[in-house]
Structure 1
Amino acid sequence: MADGMDRDEGWVRQVLPLLRLIAKGYFRSEVRGMEKVPDGGALLVANHSGGLMAFDVPLIGVAFAEQFGTGRPLYTLAHDALFLPGIDQIFPRFGFLRAHPRNAVAALREGVATLVFPGGDWDVMRPSRDDAKIDFNGRTGYIRTALEAGAPIVPMVTIGGQETQLFLTRGEGLAKLLRLDKLLRIDATPLAFGFPFGLSLGLPPNVPLPSKMVTQVLDPIDIRAEFGTDPDIAEVDVMVRKHMQHALDDLARHRRFPVIG
């Protein structure tokens, strides 16, 4: 079993009504195709949006619970920052796991659906102009994880998260200057504009605007069935990102106005 697989269904049930209110009431969330997630272990691969106040995780979690019930766990691979002293006993109860390949493989082998954002902080801090752009920053570990666990990949894309405030720059240079890449494994410190603090480097955090967020779940991918017993990692990654980019482009074409949707 993966280290930290401490999800508590009772805690999830208690917080779900609040998360549903935020998802459906504030962000007017639409998640399409969740029924495509197969039974058993599946690696849900998504783009990441919203900066330090990213809400795509609870939106996906609400839709997953509505489709499969709270009895089927969904684990999310998360940055070490969510496991700092003082909060390290909270997030694991809601299904968060440290983002380590060992934990991901163990969870998938346990037959658990597991959500990963390969782009991580690089992706979630991207400028708003790149809202409809898939960028994993060259990270392909998610493919090796799926192969080692023998699990299918289920790509999904979300649009609208980078409209919750105006992200002006990713801030990778500042992150290096402050040595955040070495100290906290953070590759970006974005300059953003929002309410009520105006220009901000993430702290204090601005209140996310009620941007309409739409998520599309794509068809599962059985890597070995499509690429053979010894697949080329780079080739698989190109294919996954291509499928995701096409789906995100389609969502962008149907989006009429920023924030409003």
Structure 2
Amino acid sequence: MTNPFVDRAGRVQAVQKAIFTVADLIGPVVDLSRIYVDGLENLPRDGRFLLVGNHTTSGWAEIVLTPYFVHRELGVRVRGLATRQLADMRGIGRDVMEAAGAVVGDPETGAELMRQGETVLVFPGGGRDMLKFKGEEYQLLWQGRSGFARLAIAHDYPIVPVGLVGGDDVYHSLVERGGTWERMTRGLGERLHGVTGVGIPLMRGIGPTMVPRPQRMYLRFGSPIDTTRPARTPAAQWEATVKEQTQTALEEILDDLRTRRENDPFRNLNPLAWRRALRPALAG
């Protein structure tokens, strides 16, 4: 049966061609920006794997940079499992998202993509992971979600954890989760961002403004996690194990990137420190 979110309309294919033509041309510009990226050698060469990443308050860096560098390395289009709000979008915005690879992140769509052997990207925290409050930078707010592990296990897909540091420093939250402001704004927050039980973070960028803070982005692709279930291991137990392994690996990536960033003179995009920017170690 045809899946409308996998089989795209002709106009979406035209936008797709334009997007990836531009992506193939802007490599030198991206290199000049000194985005820190390592671990590309960990990506399975057949493109058949599930990327599991962390959302950040920037709302764009991990969504754009992860597919870009995978495409640049392997030549494949990453299919991002988006929120159901994608289905409600209309016009050019939806066309662009679908052309770039986004699909509604329900289990059947994800399963169909894996049956076709495509590269898939998921952020288990969803929108909740973007709504960071004071002190929650780079925390994985997954709320026990393990559907991604169940999907990968069912289709024998290795999981590649991918962490991004920098996106949670573009804006700083002024209020704590569970505080008076957050509790008072939960109803309004649900109407605005669609996440139940979460209020509206008060954020600031440079000074008291919403101008984003200049931050270098640090991206790492971890080692693949084998999801093949061992004999005599109960399915539910193995799902929990794979979920925990993935979360632990991703947390370690984020911790290490933050440590590396501490001594990077280019972390705030100071042009005078451009030539001294931290560089990834060459793969052995």
The answer to whether TM tops 0.5 is yes
* 2:99 aligned counterpart, secondary structure: helix
Deviation at 1:88, TM superposition (A): 2.2
Match of 1:120 in 2: 126
State the structure with more CA Rg. Answer: 2
Mapped to 2, the partners of 1:20 and 1:63 lie a distance apart of 10
Q: 1:220 to 1:209 in 2, by over 3 A?
A: same
Q: Deviations over 1:6-47 (max 9, x none)?
A: 374413224426875885555x32221123221142110011
The amino acid of 2:130's aligned partner reads V
AA matched with 2:48: G
Where 1:137 maps in the other structure, the secondary structure is: coil
Q: Which residue of 2 aligns with 1:210?
A: 214
Q: Secondary structure at the match of 1:255?
A: helix
Q: Which has the higher strand share?
A: 1
Q: Compute the TM-score of the two structures, normalised by the length of structure 1.
A: 0.81
Letter in 2 for 1:44: L
Structure 1 residues 19 and 101: CA distance shift in structure 2, 3 A: farther
Kindly state the Cα deviation for residue 170 of structure 1 after the two structures are TM-superposed: 6.9
What is the alpha-carbon distance in structure 2 between the residues aligned to residue 19 and residue 136 of structure 1?
34
The residue that corresponds to 1:77 in the other structure is 81
Cα distance change, pair 138–149 in 1 and its aligned pair in 2 (3 A):
same
1:215-248 per-residue CA deviation (whole Å, 9 max, x = no partner) reads 1111111222568663412232222211211221
Identity of aligned residues (%): 25
**1:88 aligns to 2:99 (yes or no):** no
Query: In structure 1, what is the Cα distance between the partners aligned to 2:171 and 2:157?
Result: 36
Which segment is superposed worse, 146-155 or 82-91? 82-91
1: distance between equivalents of 2:224 and 2:100? 25
Secondary structure of the corresponding residue to residue 131 of structure 1: coil
2:56 maps to 1:49 = yes
Gaps of 5+ in 1: 199-205
Q: RMSD value over aligned CA atoms?
A: 3.1
Relative to structure 1, is the Cα distance of residues 207 and 101 closer, same or farther in structure 2, using a 3 angstrom cutoff? farther
Report the counterpart of residue 237 of structure 1 in structure 2: 243
Structure 2, unaligned stretches of length 5 or more?
Answer: 270-277, 279-284
Question: In the alignment, which residue of structure 2 is the partner of 1:32?
Answer: 38
1:1-261 aligned within 5 A: 2-5=3-6, 6=8, 8=13, 9-16=16-23, 24=31, 28-38=34-44, 39-51=46-58, 53-69=59-75, 72-83=76-87, 84-86=89-91, 87-127=93-133, 129-169=135-175, 173=183, 176-178=186-188, 180=190, 184-185=194-195, 187=198, 189-195=200-206, 198=209, 206-225=210-229, 230-231=234-235, 232=237, 233-256=239-262, 259=268
